[in-house]
A and B are shown apart, each in its own frame.
Chain A
Amino acid sequence: MPKKISVMDLYKLLPKTNCKKCGQPSCMAFAAKLLEKEATVDQCPVLNTPKFEENRKKLIELLSPPVKEVWFGNYKRKAVMGGDEVMYRYQLSFFNPTPIGVDISDELSEEEIKNRAKEIENFAFERTGEKLKLDFIVIRNASGDVEKFKKAIEIVEKETEMPICLASLNPEVIKEALKIVKSKVMVYAATKDNLNDMIRVIKELKKEKDVVLVLSSNNVKELKNMAAKCLANSIKDLVLEPHTYPENIAETLDLNVMIRRSAIEREDKYLGFPILNLPINAYYYALNNPCPISEFFEDKDVVAKMYEATIAGTLLNRYADALIIHGLDIWELMPVLTLRQNIYTDPRKPQAVEPGLYPIGNPDENSPVILTTNFSLTFYTVTGDFEKDNVTCWLLVMDTGGKAVDVSVAGGQYNGENAKKLIEETGIADKVSHRIIILPALAASTRGDIEDKTGWTCVVGTRDSSQVGEFLRKNWDRILREWKEKHQKEKA
């Protein structure tokens, strides 16, 4: 079972002066933040004094995660892996979103290497106000030639700021590469056959602290013994790579689970390192072998990329702390990066924005009122679309406990009572000359309830917020005119 530490265990080691210099109201509050990983030991200035050196060490020991946090890269960009404490994200949160690296063969021309490196660095896919990016470049010694390898490294270092992984099983090639590379790199890979030579190369160059060494084996016991040997030789930044089998991914999933369970639940410190998996194997496998997607597309490259994304998604769900892939197409990376974003979302933080009234554009008394939810994804999607399409409106953001429209309709938070409360609290009635609310089509079923409770007229809008601009351009003037005519008649 994983070790259980309490706030008291940590508090005992703190200065207990409640000096507030860490930004927390008391040492007890600071201890609670430490336990939740929301604060670090460094934030307490008193602990940095010699008197507390012993306590500081104990605290760091107590707080060190069962899966070591390992990084490579340079002072501008780092790829950080591991650092996890739990088997399931609901138990706390997963930390350090899986860095994803893309390969570059050293057999490409200088121009091609440069272009691919730039493409990897510049890749971005934006979701919910966050730019999802790739994290490192894998330079692989496909040529077998040291000079070509060194040249490729030089180009990538010159053209980008990306963290680098060097891929070759030849310790002599790695040795020459390590001599010229400027940043802390990840070396792929030490196997049971070349482990001694890899260790020797790293020690000779005194690069024990400047290298993350990947240990590769499909045997967990062997990985454990390899790790023990590296630690004994002062190579402490390790990554475990238990082989990726595209023809039966369950084999790899088993290995990942066994490694992670050993580290977290059995406290096996030799297996307490990040796990690297290779969806790139699925790419090359599907290029040359039948896979489930083969029959649907003629283009082998498309099939291979779809299968690679499938395997990447599978592994992300089972403790992959780093991935190496080949495909760079946005359609392939979108599901992979989205899944990573979802899995590494901190479940302790509600994914909600502040409910209330948000003016979009410069709305006036004749502008439409649109009702959405305070799920942050919904909010950012809606406001993003409105901005793009120059929509002007009053956006009412209802407190649905951070749930999306369809989920909160089903769950009952998207209802008349809540809408009424929101209308009263925001004073929207004083800002517009009408009493019309536009509902998303997914909330059409709540129309009666909202009309009953609020007395406003509900109009069912579009299914997706990207269609709202067009909907309003076509319909809003008419809706408003009809409402006003009807309203004046009623008045009269």
Chain B
Amino acid sequence: MIYNDKLGDFMDLNALIRIIEKVGKIEIENIQITADELIINIPSAPPVVIPQTPSIKEKLADEGIIEIKDVPELDWEPPIEKYPGYIREVQFGKPKSEGGRGKVVKIGGQKALYRFEEPQPNPPVVTFDIFDIPMPGLPKPIRQFFQDVMEDPCEWAKKCVKEFGADMITIHHISTDPKIKDKSPREAAKLMEDLLQAVDVPFVIGGSGNPQKDPLVLEACAEVTEGDRCLLASANLELDYKKIVDAAMKYDHNVLAWSIMDPNMARDLNRKLIEAGLDPNRIVMDPTTCALGYGIEFSINAMVRLRLNGLKGDELVNMPMSSGTTNANGAREAWMNNPEWGPREYRLPLWEITTGITMMMCGVDLFMMLNPIAVKTLKEIGKTLTTKPGEVKLNTNNYEWIVAKA
């Protein structure tokens, strides 16, 4: 008797021979034969050739019996990396118990690239750009949010915090530029004092981009915000960075180190700042964000390499990173009125969102942004990156789109 595993039954030899006569050849797998004495004399059954019949395979197909090969179960391990290094954590603001104004924001602190490897400690943070003079040049879809507060930086800051959920505020003292209003560092510092009263979130303090004036402006502002752990923006090799480093150390602030899309340049700048006396735990790197469509791929490469090298243990580049995401609004595809491109009120936020998200995927921790729509979207996506796997309940039916109403 032969056990047929397909039929789940025992077959006798006659049945087997009948099959052989029909098909000419059979393959027996895992046969179990129980008999007292067994003589199989298959060659005595002559090969039966039936011409003009479909081959066995097609015949089975016609009957709907296609053989599907099974494979033994394969194992899989989640590919988790070991990282010898870490990203430094930088703190903005101070709790009241330490003499600060209350709100504390932290960035960095990662020990791995992805949340499935190690919990990610701090979600990405957005700091809203505001200016010390009205900006009539902002595209209307953005200006409309701030039209009523542009005359007063304090009101502007309040609106960003109250209505648009700003984690931090970046004040650009652009009127200190000799070519604009040439306001004195003292005047900038006065505005800083007013801003501290107006809102309780930490500040990024920016100059006008004038390399002669900026160190003086930042120094004066650092003094009046002493102990508030602001971010002084920014130090680079084109200006008297020693002055900015000294101000940061003397008045308890952090420094933004700005380089141009080159990891070696970023590293070199960090080294010089540290040699000048800056605590490396007070550095945030800005390797330059080019807008989507305007060289963002250079920023991608620079930021990815900095983050990877930081996690590999290079202590000169393991600082958190910042992105001037607002640059996205300079892209003509974002701001230009062009009927062929559809409404710019949709294009503008999408350009800033896509630029910011791309930088976020490269490891950026701090985002300087302008458009409340983009800010809200980026923050929501950013929050998911620090959730634990499986923490958020997922209700999406992945296949609903197939049958969705058009």
Which residues from chain A sit less than 8 Å from chain B, CB to CB? 88-90, 103, 105, 107-108, 127, 140-142, 144, 167-169, 188-189, 196, 199-200, 203-204, 216, 218, 220-221, 224-225, 228-229, 232-233, 243-251, 253-254, 257-258, 261-262, 265-266, 268, 270-271, 278, 280-281, 283-285, 291-293, 295-296, 302, 305-307, 309-310, 313-314, 317-318, 324, 326, 329-332, 334-336, 338-339, 341-343, 345, 347, 375, 377, 381, 403-404, 407, 410-411, 464, 466
Q: Are A250 and B385 in contact (CB under 8 A)?
A: yes
- Inside 8 A of A318's CB, which chain B residues have their CB? 361
* Residue of B with least CB distance to A243: B398
- Bound CA span A329–B345, Å: 14
Contacting residues of chain B (250-295) with chain A, CB-CB under 8 angstroms: 260-261, 288, 290, 292-295
Q: Are B394 and A248 in contact (CB under 8 A)?
A: yes
Which residues from chain B sit less than 8 Å from chain A, CB to CB? 61, 64, 66, 68-71, 73-76, 78-79, 114-116, 260-261, 288, 290, 292-297, 300-301, 304-305, 308, 332-333, 336, 340-344, 346-347, 349-351, 353-354, 357-358, 361-362, 372-373, 376-377, 379-381, 384-385, 387, 389-390, 392, 394-396, 398-406
A-B CB contact pairs (8 Å), 12 listed: A88-B308, A103-B401, A188-B402, A218-B398, A220-B78, A250-B387, A281-B401, A284-B404, A292-B380, A296-B372, A332-B346, A407-B295
Given contact pairs A169-B399, A278-B398, A310 touches B346 in the complex (Cβ within 8 A)? no
Query: In whole Å, how far is A165's beta carbon from the nearest beta carbon of chain B?
Result: 11
Which residue from B292, B349, B384, B396 sits with its C-beta under 8 Å from A338? B292
- Bound CA span A381–B401, Å: 38
Query: In whole Å, how far is B350's beta carbon from the nearest beta carbon of chain A?
Result: 5
The 7 A-B residue pairs with the shortest CB-CB distance in the complex, in nearest-first order: A331-B342, A317-B361, A250-B384, A221-B76, A248-B392, A90-B301, A261-B79
- Bound CA span A218–B398, Å: 9
Q: Are B346 and A306 in contact (CB under 8 A)?
A: yes
Given contact pairs A251-B394, A257-B114, A330-B342, A310 touches B377 in the complex (Cβ within 8 A)? yes
Given contact pairs A247-B394, A317-B361, A331-B341, A339 touches B301 in the complex (Cβ within 8 A)? no
Given contact pairs A225-B73, A314-B361, A466-B336, A168 touches B402 in the complex (Cβ within 8 A)? yes
Query: In whole Å, how far is B352's beta carbon from the nearest beta carbon of chain A?
Result: 10
- Bound CA span A33–B68, Å: 42
Q: Are A169 and B377 in contact (CB under 8 A)?
A: no
Q: Are A244 and B398 in contact (CB under 8 A)?
A: yes
- Bound CA span A338–B261, Å: 20
- Inside 8 A of A200's CB, which chain B residues have their CB? 66, 68
- Inside 8 A of A224's CB, which chain B residues have their CB? 74, 76
- Bound CA span A346–B305, Å: 17
- Inside 8 A of A140's CB, which chain B residues have their CB? 401-403
* Residue of A with least CB distance to B73: A225
Which residue from A169, A218, A307, A466 sits with its C-beta under 8 Å from B332? A466
- Bound CA span A330–B399, Å: 26
- Bound CA span A334–B342, Å: 10
* Residue of B with least CB distance to A205: B61
- Inside 8 A of B292's CB, which chain A residues have their CB? 335, 338-339, 342
- Bound CA span A220–B381, Å: 23
Q: Are B295 and A377 in contact (CB under 8 A)?
A: yes
Query: In whole Å, how far is A133's beta carbon from the nearest beta carbon of chain B?
Result: 16
Q: Are A293 and B381 in contact (CB under 8 A)?
A: no
* Residue of B with least CB distance to A116: B406
- Inside 8 A of A324's CB, which chain B residues have their CB? 401
Given contact pairs A142-B402, A250-B384, A407-B290, A229 touches B70 in the complex (Cβ within 8 A)? yes
Q: Are B358 and A317 in contact (CB under 8 A)?
A: yes
* Residue of B with least CB distance to A316: B358
Q: Are B381 and A249 in contact (CB under 8 A)?
A: yes
- Inside 8 A of B390's CB, which chain A residues have their CB? 251
* Residue of A with least CB distance to B362: A317
Which residue from B340, B372, B381, B389 sits with its C-beta under 8 Å from A254? B389
Q: Are B346 and A204 in contact (CB under 8 A)?
A: no
Query: In whole Å, how far is A402's beta carbon from the nearest beta carbon of chain B?
Result: 9
Query: In whole Å, how far is B206's beta carbon from the nearest beta carbon of chain A?
Result: 15
- Bound CA span A233–B70, Å: 8
Q: Are B347 and A339 in contact (CB under 8 A)?
A: no
Q: Are B358 and A203 in contact (CB under 8 A)?
A: no
- Bound CA span A291–B353, Å: 14
* Residue of A with least CB distance to B376: A292
Query: In whole Å, how far is B318's beta carbon from the nearest beta carbon of chain A?
Result: 18
* Residue of B with least CB distance to A248: B392
- Bound CA span A345–B300, Å: 12
* Residue of A with least CB distance to B382: A250
Q: Are B304 and A220 in contact (CB under 8 A)?
A: no
Query: In whole Å, how far is A337's beta carbon from the nearest beta carbon of chain B?
Result: 10
Q: Are B66 and A204 in contact (CB under 8 A)?
A: yes
Q: Are A343 and B332 in contact (CB under 8 A)?
A: no
- Inside 8 A of B61's CB, which chain A residues have their CB? 203-204
Given contact pairs A247-B395, A247-B396, A313-B353, A232 touches B288 in the complex (Cβ within 8 A)? no
Query: In whole Å, how far is B260's beta carbon from the nearest beta carbon of chain A?
Result: 5
* Residue of A with least CB distance to B308: A88
Given contact pairs A281-B396, A310-B381, A347-B297, A334 touches B333 in the complex (Cβ within 8 A)? yes
Q: Are B398 and A335 in contact (CB under 8 A)?
A: no
Q: Are B385 and A105 in contact (CB under 8 A)?
A: no
Q: Are A331 and B350 in contact (CB under 8 A)?
A: yes
- Inside 8 A of A280's CB, which chain B residues have their CB? 401
